[in-house]
Structure 1
Amino acid sequence: MASSLTKDAAEQEKTSPTSGGMTFFGHPFGLAPLFLTEMWERFSYYGMRALLVVYLISGGPDAKPGSQGGGLAMPEASSVAIYSIYVAMVYLLAMPGGWFGDRVWGPRKTVTIAASTIMAGHLLLAVPGKPTFFAGLALVAIGSGLLKSNISTMVGHLYDGPTDPRRDGGFTLFYIGINLGAFFAPLVIGTIGQEVNWHLGFGIAAAGMALGLMIFLWGTRHLDPKSSVVPTPLSAEERKATLTKALIWLGVAAVFYGIVGGAGLFTLNWALIPITLLGLIIPITVLLRIKRDKDLSDTEQTKVSGYIWFFVAAAAFWMIFDQAGSTMSTFAEKKTADNVFGIGFPSTWFQSVNPLWVMALAPVFAWLWVFLARRNSEPSTTVKFSMAMVLIGASFFVFAVPMGMAGDGTKVSPAWLLMIYMIQTMGELCLSPVGLSLTTKMAPKKYASQMLGVWFLAVTAGDCTTGLLSIAGVDMNGTGTIVFQAALCTLAGVAVWMYRKRIIALMGDVH
């Protein structure tokens, strides 16, 4: 059975050694600065993400008539591909981010550097111009990758090992912090950027990250001392070899793109296609490398085999879920009514619906798991993942209905998107916080932070699949494409459920 929050009171009172007896909703007080740091980081990230596609198409042929100009005037297909690849890179870079936390700086220092990098990226986005825009996107992606794995690892450090009864509840609270930031971001950053000035919106995202960095630096004294430790530091020889390899690959890329550019052959696809393919190849390569590591015990290798099932399911889940900022964003912009009872609102507000549902439903799901655990009926992690896959598939089956209704130019009711986001959120709550906690439990000791990077690689794989389809010319807003994705995820959920006993056997003592 999955970890629950139903152990005795003595266990519940354990606090962080540096908290002075204070708790945060019954959890170690160190969770508070991590909660707030992640909340402001997500505020900056989701605010920028809400603007991304509508900014890219603004001023071009695919923009909504009468909308604000001043964007990059790109075609919708290219904008969806850029969005998908950008989000994929944020999560792809979580893997090297975990590596830096494990082997170079330690989680705490890595998060400090990451937050500073994200802030610098948003400041560049606030400066008009295509070069500064893409440079800013790159910095935000790099900073987010450095931050993601390490801040989640520090949450895990606050608890007394994988069996601590508060662990799943702590990650659920942390997830609520993520969604508080994600909820307010489109309302503030989205509104100002879409209705006033794009670059002012990006600037507010920078201010949000600056506040998150200050809170983190203030709260470091409440974190577990392990958060400052580099678990497996690089030797001098390893540092030299790593730097040499990095410089060689950088040189190869510079020469290659210099030749392509010099020949006048460079187009956007010369950048997008290699990145997309890497986003699919790297997750497979990393999982195989970990699985074949001879330093792992037999038990650890068996757990990695079980983890692969969850990874594949999560990749299919995020392939649909992350289209909230691309396929569903353009549908909201051009084919959904933008007023309720005569009150108008920008399309970026729809990006606040999912986090609102999370905040409304997360306490219900947390209570439900506890309620079922007390009766020895809590679903296993495997069953929760199966439920998530079926729900995300169902959401796109529903999406096909308003998609068809809008085919003749009719604008559909916002209620359709509210319902779709509700179904997706129910699936998310069965998969995302549970998956984060599961990863910290099943991670081999050697790959403590890096395994959280591997978890985020599932998002990379899902988003790169969407990006590759967009580059290939597949109409992501086509009803047939929507139904196909829905069927694929539903069948994947059924497969996980059918093979649940085999998967549970591979998980060892983690259920």
Structure 2
Amino acid sequence: MASTPTEAVIPRIADSGTGKTFFGQPRGLATLFMTELWERFSFYGMRALLVLYLVAPTAKGGLGFNLATATAIYSVYNAMVYLLALPGGWAADRLWGARRTVAIAGAVIMVGHFLLAVPATVSFFVGLVLIAAGSGLLKSNISTMVGHLYEGPDDPRRDGGFTIFYMGINVGAFVAPLTIGTVGEQVNWHLGFALAGVGMALGLVQYLLGSRHLSKRSDAIPAPLTTAERNGLLRKAGFWSLLAVVFYAIVVLSGHFTINWAMWPLIVAGLAIPAFYLLRIKQDRDLNAEEQSKMTGYIWFFVAAAIFWMIYDQSGSTLNIFAEQNTSSTLFGLGFPASWFQSLNPLMIMALAPVFAWLWVALARRAKEPTTTVKFAYGLLLIGASFLVMMLAQAAASDGTRVSPLWLTVVYLIQTVGELCLSPVGLSVTTKLAPQKYASQMMGVWFLAVTAGDCVTALVQLAGANIDSQSYFAFQGVLALLAGVAVVMYRRKVVGLMGNVR
């Protein structure tokens, strides 16, 4: 987030509690590690159930939506989580500070999950809104708080601390479908959602109890709102909220309301806001020629990332449905629920991330490490290949045969390797190409690539694409392959725009 004028007067202490450490790291890392683990446990556990619950017949306790609507709801929900990371960062910088914002986020997420556990459609969608809002608040600030634990970017423990922290993400994501998924699918949908709420409650309690170990910098409000700014914000928020209430009241009372009336405005916003942000930064006259050139280069990476996430984020929607409807639920004689497939990606990340970290270093020593553009191309080619494999899996299941679980295992393996080529590199290149004026905002812009990709998916799904067809997977797979080829073909042009960044 934004660099703060108050940092100079706030002590840069590594640990404000006792002398105890956490794997040689500041004690506060344990608090943030467990908070993130439980938040990811609740997030990925609920996500593993979401589409399955939406399409399940009402006779089986579900909401009975058709496939296209259910997957579009999932895509829009996921897009909003990343879109709301922008106001989440603003809230910490202008209103509450990072520590208080994360506490508020945890409470909002917890309430949202418990609302999902109430067997009523209205409370279910209110719960989704709260989880998306809370996740946006938390996502944009908890990583910043990890950075606050260290004495600047040159602290030798810093990289190791972030590695441990991100392990918490994947541990939570791995365990969640195995527990929440099992309870939701095999016992009761709403009990599964309640279990996600219990997980977030545990994370919130330990966060509040362990917050004394966090850095004092996490309490700071970098640029507090003035009274005039606060009053102006309240007036604008009140006006737009009232306008939305009146509009939707008219739609509901006239008998025309459907779920599409809620989704289409969000899809439009999810596509327009990223375009607006990029255009605003690109046209800023305060940027010098070099920064303008780097932003032009960054747009290439942004579009490539949006295409990547458009496919990758369907793991919890179209691939989850394929697992439930078209994939055998037994392996070596052992049965398991469809949601268990959602544990494959975090498991593979934990297994392969250290290998890739070693590989890039080893290649760099031999002056053979691929450039950023080539790594992005690898990511696009792999994500495209994964959907071509899905096309073959869909063909194998077209006669009603349940295919082997190995099909989805191969798809997730290819996607995970693609993620490791593109995602960490994307985070890095975002910070390197960011204009100085927008250094603190660019990470939020990177998240908007996920929003844009998910909104394109929702757009395609609501437009009537046949989701359980071979052509659905083939078209997107070929699109990603062509994007990867384009990045390779124009890599010299992109490198030229990047200036001294490689």
Q: TM-score, normalised by structure 2?
A: 0.90
The separation in 2 between residues aligned to 1:132 and 1:452, in whole angstroms, is 32
Call closer, same or farther: CA 1:430–1:162 in 2, change over 3 Å.
Answer: farther
* Aligned residue runs from structure 1 range 370-409, under 5 A: 370-409=361-400
* Cα offsets for 1:332-364 (capped at 9, x unmatched): 001000111222111011111111111111111
Call closer, same or farther: CA 1:505–1:456 in 2, change over 3 Å.
Answer: same
The count of aligned residue pairs is: 491
Call closer, same or farther: CA 1:232–1:492 in 2, change over 3 Å.
Answer: farther
* Aligned residue runs from structure 1 range 65-76, under 5 A: 69-76=60-67
Asked whether 1:79 is paired with 2:74, we answer no
Give the secondary structure class of the aligned counterpart of 1:104: helix
The separation in 1 between residues aligned to 2:19 and 2:375, in whole angstroms, is 34
* Aligned residue runs from structure 1 range 258-407, under 5 A: 258-294=249-285, 300-407=291-398
Offset at residue 386 of structure 1 (A): 2.0
Offset at residue 443 of structure 1 (A): 4.4
Offset at residue 247 of structure 1 (A): 1.5
2:45 aligns with 47
Offset at residue 148 of structure 1 (A): 0.8
**Structure 1 stretch displaced more, 459-468 or 216-225:** 216-225
Give the secondary structure class of the aligned counterpart of 1:337: coil
Offset at residue 439 of structure 1 (A): 3.5
Kept in 1, the 8 Å contact 2:391–2:470? The answer is yes
Call closer, same or farther: CA 1:302–1:402 in 2, change over 3 Å.
Answer: same
The separation in 1 between residues aligned to 2:22 and 2:365, in whole angstroms, is 24
The separation in 2 between residues aligned to 1:219 and 1:304, in whole angstroms, is 40
The separation in 1 between residues aligned to 2:500 and 2:32, in whole angstroms, is 28
Offset at residue 163 of structure 1 (A): 7.1
Call closer, same or farther: CA 1:141–1:327 in 2, change over 3 Å.
Answer: same
1:201 aligns with 192
1:227 aligns with 218
1:114 aligns with 105
Asked whether 1:486 is paired with 2:477, we answer yes
The separation in 1 between residues aligned to 2:145 and 2:39, in whole angstroms, is 16
Kept in 2, the 8 Å contact 1:41–1:208? The answer is yes
Match for 2:176 among 162, 167, 185? 185
Call closer, same or farther: CA 1:130–1:228 in 2, change over 3 Å.
Answer: same
**Structure 1 stretch displaced more, 352-361 or 214-223:** 214-223
* Cα offsets for 1:25-71 (capped at 9, x unmatched): 565554433232211111000000000011111125xxxxxxx8111
Match for 2:166 among 169, 175, 198? 175
The separation in 1 between residues aligned to 2:219 and 2:499, in whole angstroms, is 30
Q: TM-score, normalised by structure 1?
A: 0.89
Call closer, same or farther: CA 1:189–1:487 in 2, change over 3 Å.
Answer: same
**Structure 1 stretch displaced more, 440-449 or 408-417:** 440-449
2:447 aligns with 456
Asked whether 1:149 is paired with 2:140, we answer yes
Kept in 1, the 8 Å contact 2:295–2:433? The answer is yes
The separation in 1 between residues aligned to 2:161 and 2:474, in whole angstroms, is 36
**Structure 1 stretch displaced more, 29-38 or 463-472:** 29-38
* Aligned residue runs from structure 1 range 424-439, under 5 A: 424-439=415-430
The separation in 2 between residues aligned to 1:506 and 1:29, in whole angstroms, is 43
Letter in structure 2 aligned against 1:46: Y
Give the fraction of aligned pairs with identical amino acids, expressed as a percent: 62
Kept in 1, the 8 Å contact 2:13–2:151? The answer is no
Letter in structure 2 aligned against 1:34: L
Give the secondary structure class of the aligned counterpart of 1:230: coil
Call closer, same or farther: CA 1:29–1:445 in 2, change over 3 Å.
Answer: farther
Call closer, same or farther: CA 1:86–1:98 in 2, change over 3 Å.
Answer: same
Offset at residue 206 of structure 1 (A): 0.9
The separation in 2 between residues aligned to 1:507 and 1:18, in whole angstroms, is 41
The separation in 2 between residues aligned to 1:205 and 1:233, in whole angstroms, is 34
Give the secondary structure class of the aligned counterpart of 1:356: helix
1:10 aligns with none
Call closer, same or farther: CA 1:355–1:268 in 2, change over 3 Å.
Answer: same
**Structure 1 stretch displaced more, 460-469 or 207-216:** 207-216
Give the secondary structure class of the aligned counterpart of 2:397: helix
The separation in 2 between residues aligned to 1:227 and 1:342, in whole angstroms, is 51
Offset at residue 244 of structure 1 (A): 1.7
The separation in 2 between residues aligned to 1:321 and 1:359, in whole angstroms, is 17
Match for 2:203 among 212, 219, 226? 212
Match for 2:229 among 229, 238, 241? 238
Offset at residue 375 of structure 1 (A): 3.5
The separation in 2 between residues aligned to 1:150 and 1:134, in whole angstroms, is 25
Kept in 1, the 8 Å contact 2:85–2:139? The answer is yes
Letter in structure 1 aligned against 2:45: G
The separation in 1 between residues aligned to 2:184 and 2:359, in whole angstroms, is 39
1:38 aligns with 36
1:473 aligns with 464
The separation in 2 between residues aligned to 1:137 and 1:246, in whole angstroms, is 21
1:63 aligns with none
Call closer, same or farther: CA 1:504–1:218 in 2, change over 3 Å.
Answer: farther
**Structure 1 stretch displaced more, 127-136 or 370-379:** 370-379
2:8 aligns with none
Kept in 1, the 8 Å contact 2:15–2:149? The answer is no
* Cα offsets for 1:394-423 (capped at 9, x unmatched): 111111111111111111000010011001
Aligned-residue Cα RMSD (Å) equals: 2.6
**Structure 1 stretch displaced more, 149-158 or 437-446:** 437-446
Call closer, same or farther: CA 1:445–1:126 in 2, change over 3 Å.
Answer: farther
1:58 aligns with 56
**Structure 1 stretch displaced more, 212-221 or 193-202:** 212-221
Letter in structure 2 aligned against 1:42: R
Match for 1:253 among 234, 238, 244? 244
Call closer, same or farther: CA 1:508–1:165 in 2, change over 3 Å.
Answer: farther
Offset at residue 459 of structure 1 (A): 1.0
The separation in 1 between residues aligned to 2:370 and 2:376, in whole angstroms, is 10
Kept in 2, the 8 Å contact 1:15–1:23? The answer is no
1:7 aligns with none
